[in-house]
Amino acid sequence: MAVRILGLVGSLRAGSHNRQLAETAAKHAPEGIEFALYEGLADLPFYNEDIDVEGSVPQAAAELRETVGAADALLLFSPEYNGTMPAVLKNAIDWISRPYGAGAVSGKPVAVVGTAFGQYGGVWAQDEARKAAGIAGGAVLEDVKLSIPDSVGRFAETHPADDAEVVEQLTEVLRKLAAAAA
């Protein structure tokens, strides 16, 4: 049976390089790994405990929790916005962290990767995403990292799926995440 890895992308932009990285993971997932990209983050309301009430949880949040719950592991793709992770990714982590101690992410292997314009490839944002996912209950793989700098230059004319080095590195991330989930 295949290991199911769910990708959450912290950028809503159609042409996002992080989205392209997630598409690359889907296209090049090794045998035995099913990679799916979650598409509903734009529909999530900001986390608010007043609306997170049994029986009336917003549909988008219920769908996210159900989809994360069915996955064996999570792969978060984080760009860097003003030195940290985007609000859309943090919001998703907040929703899947609840109910406290029994959220959809509890105990699931989580890895964080990404690309950014700067010279460090978004490491600050990715570190923040790892921290939040761990506090939320995820089993964060601290040693599984991929930060690709200069996204605007590197991917100006080449999709990440056509960059052999990126494909190799991302495939290795998927293998390590699958091994942790197995």
Query: Considering the entire predicted model, what is its pTM?
Result: 0.97
Quick one: pLDDT at residue 68?
A: 98
| Residue 101: pLDDT over 90 | no
Q: pLDDT tens-digit profile of 28-86? A: 999 999 999 999 999 999 999 999 999 999 999 999 999 999 999 999 999 999 999 99
Q: How many residues does the chain have?
A: 182
Sheet containing 109-115, strands listed edge to edge, beginning at the edge strand earlier in sequence: 33-37, 3-9, 73-77, 109-115, 139-148
**Average pLDDT value for residue range 146-161:** 96
What's the rounded Cα separation, in Å, for the pair 81 and 70? 29
Q: Indicate the burial class of 26 (C-beta count within 10 angstroms; 0-12, 13-18, 19 or more).
A: middle
Query: Residues of the chain with pLDDT > 90: what percent?
Result: 97
| Residue 1: pLDDT over 90 | no
Helices (H), 51-163: 59-70, 87-96, 123-135, 151-154
Query: What CATH number did the domain enclosing 129 receive?
Result: 3.40.50.360
Quick one: pLDDT at residue 165?
A: 97
The count of domains in the chain is: 1
Question: 29 is in which domain, residue-wise?
Answer: 3-181
Q: In whole angstroms, what separates CA 130 from the centre of its chain?
A: 10
- CA separation (Å) from 46 to 42, 160, 164? 10, 31, 38
